[in-house]
Amino acid sequence: MCKKAYTASFASIYDDVMGTVPYKVWYDYLQEVMAFYGFEAGKVLDLACGTGNMSILFARDNYQVTGVDRSSGMLEVARQKAKEEGLEINFIEADLCSFQVKERYDLAISLFDSLNYILKLEDLKKVFKNVYDSLRDGGIFVFDVNTISRLMSIEPGTTILNGEDYTCIWEDIVNKEEKLWQVKLKIYHKDTGEYHEEFHQETGYKIADLKEGLKEAGFQDMDVYNAYTFTEASDSDNRIYFVALKNRKGAVVRPVLRSVKNLKWGIKRFINGL
């Protein structure tokens, strides 16, 4: 069985398969996070950018964006989408464990549980160090992860996804012994008759371990929120967001503002089924 993930085969149908993903909600939340920290960004580094959905949202608002991903197929789709919109985005093919950039960025992001794909904590620490080195002093790194609790609660089973010119058989597997969520994909392209298989794996980490890894990379101040809130996260939440700051003080605690933002995002979470 093919052990690759995010091949050109899946890249060609990815945006259709993920058509209900609320990228704009994520973008709005990131804007709220920056406002909460009194932070303004001009240059954005989008890590594991995939087909460029978050990169494009930032570029539409005149941010200078660089997207990094290891999948040439996903990047090919991203470049085409940016070209069609007349957006200048620098997309780089690189592994997050070893990437380097010459420029220094204000904001680095990695969303859609992309960092859960890094199965060893030591490798994840390499990513954190690379991100730290890519940020300017005062820069911020925002990323989300699925918790161990979330991954282990996924219901095993098979779903058949039918698109206009493809059929994708999606099989969820939960390996509780190794704390892995695994996905087997079987993709049949109706127009060409081609058939491909992919295999995806995610693992989870304790909040304390991720905090320690960030500190080893150089980040000293950080906050962790239950997704789409400004409430401190716990290991029992589903999706959580880290905000790690490079040589920058954390947000000033303003209970009233925090309550207002939590109310606002509580409504958004309900409306969007998050």
DSSP 96-141: TTT---SS-EEEEEE-TTGGGG---HHHHHHHHHHHHHHEEEEEEE
Give the chain's domains with CATH numbers.
8-148+205-272 (3.40.50.150), 152-201 (2.20.25)
Alpha-carbon gap, residue 70 to 92, rounded angstroms:
8
What is this structure's pTM? Answer: 0.92
The DSSP bridge pattern shows strands 90-93 and 64-69 to be parallel
In the chain, the percentage of residues whose pLDDT exceeds 90 is: 86
Q: State the number of CA atoms in the 13 A half-sphere of 157 facing the CB.
A: 5
Q: State the pLDDT confidence band at 254, using cuts at 50, 70 and 90.
A: low
Alpha-carbon gap, residue 166 to 58, rounded angstroms:
30
Whether 107 and 41 have beta carbons less than 8 Å apart is answered as yes
Alpha-carbon gap, residue 234 to 245, rounded angstroms:
20
Q: Write down the residue that tokens 């780089």 correspond to.
A: 92
φ, ψ of residue 273 to 5 degrees: the values are 65, 40
Q: State the pLDDT confidence band at 272, using cuts at 50, 70 and 90.
A: confident
pLDDT, one tens digit per residue, over 139-192 is 999 999 999 999 999 999 999 999 999 999 999 999 999 999 999 999 999 999
Mean pLDDT over residues 82-106, rounded?
97
pLDDT at position 1 is 31
Whether 228 and 269 have beta carbons less than 8 Å apart is answered as yes
pLDDT, one tens digit per residue, over 32-45 is 999 999 899 999 99
